[in-house]
Amino acid sequence: MTDRVFDIGVIGAGPAGLAAATAAASVGLSVVLIDAGSQPGGQYWRHPDEQQVGETDHAGHHDWTTFTTMRSALHTAMEAGHITYLPDTQLWLIDPVKEATARRTLRLTNSYTAGPEQHIARRPTEVTVDQLILCPGGYDRQLPVPGWDLPGVMAAGGVQALLKGSRTVAGRRAIIAGTGPFLLPVAVGLAEAGAEVVSICEAGAIRNWLPHVAAAAQVPSKGLEGAQYAALMAKHRIPYRSRTIIRAIHGETSVEAVTTCKVDSSGTPIAGTERRYEVDVVGLGWGFTPSLELPVMVGAQTRRDVDGSLVAVVDDQQRSGIPGVYIAGEATGVGGASMAVAEGKLAALTAAADSGRPISPRDVSRLQHKIKRFRGFAVAMHTAHPVPEAWTGWLEPETVVCRCEEVNYGDLCTAHEELQADDARTLKLVARPGMGWCQGRVCGYAIAGIAASLCGREPSEEDLRSQGKRTLASPVALSDLAALNNEIHL
């Protein structure tokens, strides 16, 4: 237990958090940087454990020098005592502000308790901060499909994480499905690592892009990235099928095959277009969705973004509306790593200004301008790759929706019809989806969509928020809870 007090606590050492922590330190603030991961980089710059493999080559990593520059700044600031970096550390509770000091105490625990010594060393169980920058990132957004709980079916980002973090290929014959530009690097990554990718199934239509080209042209590097992936797809002969979904996944104890089909513009399957592929790995991804338990825990406002996900509301300087709390990166709306970096820097500058440090207004407006451009691109991307409105029509009564509590679609329909569950919150109370280990992180978006479709309406912010609220940000040991000493009431 330490009683260290810091000017700023930054949560997450991904693109947003690294940028925030290093920018805050550079204007003279003392920073504690807390991250559940073992080394800085977050999802985007995930790389093999350097304590095990040393510096690795980073072909396939875009903007790697942006990362190494920030990492050097992190190390310099750590040596100078400006940043205290706590890797392998999970923030599980943010106490309410203490009136006397206007500070917050952050409750911490080890991310995991087995494995190499250096990763499971005891860390402080609490730190206290004046200001808080939340950069918790997100995870793959999922839509359930018959058979998606078979081993061998993975989140597309998980397939990528396995490749980038562990240099491990998830299987030998793969199919990648869902929507969005992220399906391309996943498929190409697998092919470059020696797997056969039988197809990318994109639910959207390619021509969806055309109306948004102007926004895309504002970010030329994205166009270049796209061209590189197109060339690699041609090289590896990866077929790209638009308006195509995985209708069902087959297998006994692991994936053996999938059935795909064409869909119309609403996402309704077109009869007679089914195709079967034998595969041993399936990567599913419907874009990303932010990790919102920390913003919700501190009482930040949320809204439904253009892509339909719940995101945190911030002003044009990353203020959350809760005094002393700033939010940056995917949590404010999914927009990619470059936008996360710009938002992280801006959050740090704003926090510094709000605590009376001089900052350059020019830096602020430059960052705001950048963010606006990236946001425009993100909106274009989301609009071109929507979750098909008719997706709940793909579900069978026995399709598992909540993987943890094993709640299937039929259970949810019954809860609606017989017990009048008309919104996601009531569905959760009655049928218990989202009440297991993952606390609705995997199924929350789907539950909100199912609740809405059962009632014949659009999902609401409240449907989503009821799935995103978590009393604790992660499961913790009873001993951690006991250590709270009845200080606060959950």
Partner 1 sequence: MNNNDERLMDCDGAPLPYEPGQSIGAALMNAGITSWRTTRKDGKPRGLFCGIGVCYDCLLTVDGQVNQRACVVPATSGAKIETGGRVLKDTAIQKETDKAARPEESHD
Residues that bind partner 1 (CB under 8 A): 36, 38, 43, 48-49, 52-53, 111-116, 119, 139-140, 149-155, 157-162, 165-168, 170-172, 253-254, 280, 291, 403-406, 436-438, 441-442, 475
The DSSP letter of residue 393 is G
Of 164 and 428, CB closest to partner 1:
164
For the CB of residue 472, give the shortest distance to ligand FAD in the complex, in Å.
Answer: 10
Helices (H) and strands (E) in the chain, counts: 16, 21
| x/- track of binding to ligand FAD for residues 55-94 (CB under 6 A) | -----------------------------------xx---
13 binds ligand FAD (CB under 6 A): yes
Q: Which stretch, 133-141, 266-274, 394-402, 455-463, contacts ligand FAD (CB under 6 A)?
A: 133-141
Q: In whole angstroms, how large is the CA radius of gyration of the chain?
A: 22
User: What's phi and psi for 417, nearest 5 deg?
Assistant: -75, -45
**Tokens encoding 14:** 């991904």
Within 10 A of 334 (CB to CB), how many other CB atoms are there?
A: 26
439 binds ligand FAD (CB under 6 A): no
Q: Are 134 and 302 in contact (CB under 8 A)?
A: no
284 binds ligand FAD (CB under 6 A): no
Q: 185 touches which of ligand FAD, partner 1, none (CB within 5 to 8 A by kind)?
A: ligand FAD
For the CB of residue 410, give the shortest distance to ligand FAD in the complex, in Å.
Answer: 30
Q: Are 450 and 489 in contact (CB under 8 A)?
A: no
3-state secondary structure (DSSP) of residue 78: helix
Where does residue 485 fall: left (phi above 0), alpha (psi -120 to 50 degrees), or beta otherwise?
left
CA dihedral 406, 410, 386, 458 (to 10 degrees): -120
Q: Beta strands 153-155 and 138-140: pairing type?
A: unpaired
330 binds ligand FAD (CB under 6 A): yes
333 binds ligand FAD (CB under 6 A): no
Please identify which residue in 10, 32, 34, 197 interacts with ligand FAD, judged by CB under 6 A: 34
Q: 337 touches which of ligand FAD, partner 1, none (CB within 5 to 8 A by kind)?
A: ligand FAD
Q: Are 283 and 140 in contact (CB under 8 A)?
A: no
Nearest Cα to Cα of residue 110 among 471, 477, 469, 478 = 477
Q: Are 258 and 175 in contact (CB under 8 A)?
A: yes
Please identify which residue in 6, 7, 17, 342 interacts with ligand FAD, judged by CB under 6 A: 17
449 binds ligand FAD (CB under 6 A): no
For the CB of residue 474, give the shortest distance to ligand FAD in the complex, in Å.
Answer: 6
Of 8 and 282, CB closest to partner 1:
282
Please identify which residue in 8, 10, 11, 21 interacts with ligand FAD, judged by CB under 6 A: 11
Of 225 and 462, CB closest to ligand FAD:
225
**Tokens encoding 394:** 């793909």
Please identify which residue in 16, 184, 249, 448 interacts with ligand FAD, judged by CB under 6 A: 16
**Tokens encoding 165:** 């973090």
Is the CA virtual torsion 403, 406, 409, 411 positive or negative?
Answer: negative
**Tokens encoding 71:** 């990492």
Residues in contact with ligand FAD, counted by CB under 6 A, come to a total of 36
**Tokens encoding 338:** 């470059």
The DSSP secondary structure of 312-366, one letter per residue, reads E---TT-B-SSTTEEE-GGGGS---HHHHHHHHHHHHHHHHHHTT----HHHHHH
For the CB of residue 49, give the shortest distance to partner 1 in the complex, in Å.
Answer: 5
Of 139 and 326, CB closest to partner 1:
139
For the CB of residue 289, give the shortest distance to partner 1 in the complex, in Å.
Answer: 11
Please identify which residue in 8, 23, 29, 36 interacts with ligand FAD, judged by CB under 6 A: 36
Strand partners of residue 303: 311
337 binds ligand FAD (CB under 6 A): yes
Angle between helices 15-26 and 64-79 (to 10 degrees): 40
Q: Which stretch, 129-137, 172-180, 196-204, 461-469, contacts ligand FAD (CB under 6 A)?
A: 129-137
Q: 318 touches which of ligand FAD, partner 1, none (CB within 5 to 8 A by kind)?
A: none
Q: 136 touches which of ligand FAD, partner 1, none (CB within 5 to 8 A by kind)?
A: ligand FAD
Of 28 and 475, CB closest to partner 1:
475
Nearest Cα to Cα of residue 285 among 428, 138, 458, 394 = 138
| x/- track of binding to ligand FAD for residues 460-489 (CB under 6 A) | -------------x----------------
Q: Are 410 and 252 in contact (CB under 8 A)?
A: no
Amino acid present at 463: D
Note the residues at the interface with ligand FAD (CB under 6 A).
Answer: 11-17, 34-37, 42-44, 90-91, 135-140, 157-158, 160-161, 185, 288, 291, 294, 329-330, 336-337, 340, 473
